[in-house]
Amino acid sequence: MNRGVLLLLQALVAVVFIGAWHVGSTVPIGGSYLLPKFFFSTPADVAHRVWTLFAEGTMKIVTCTETIDVTRLLNISEPCFGKTVWQHLSITLIEGLLAFAIGAGAGIVIGFWLARHPLLSAVFDPYIKMLNALPRVVLAPIFLLWLGLGIWSKVALGVTLVFFIVFFNVYQGVKEVSPAILANARMLGMNERQLFRNVYWPSALSWMFSSLHTSVGFAIIGAVVGEYLGAAAGLGYMIQQAEGTFDTTGVFAGMVILAVFVLIIDWCVTLVERRMLVWRPPSAAGQG
Superfamily of domain 41-276: MetI-like (1.10.3720.10)
d(CA 214, CA 164): 11
Other C-beta atoms within 10 Å of 56: how many? 10
Q: What is the pLDDT of residues 215-272, one digit of tens each?
A: 998 999 899 988 888 877 888 888 888 888 888 999 999 999 989 988 998 899 888 8
pTM of the model: 0.79
pLDDT in the model for residue 98? 95
Q: Is 159 helix (H, G, I), strand (E, B) or coil?
A: helix
Strand partners, 32: 29
Give the C-alpha separation, 173 to 274, whole Å.
Answer: 18
Alpha carbon 82 to chain centroid, angstroms = 23
How confident is the model at residue 57, as a pLDDT? Answer: 57
Domain range list for the chain: 1-37, 41-276
Q: Give the whole-angstrom CA distance, residue 278 versus residue 156.
A: 33
CA-CA distance, 261 to 140, in Å (whole number)? 23
Which positions ≥6 away from 138 have C-beta within 8 Å? none
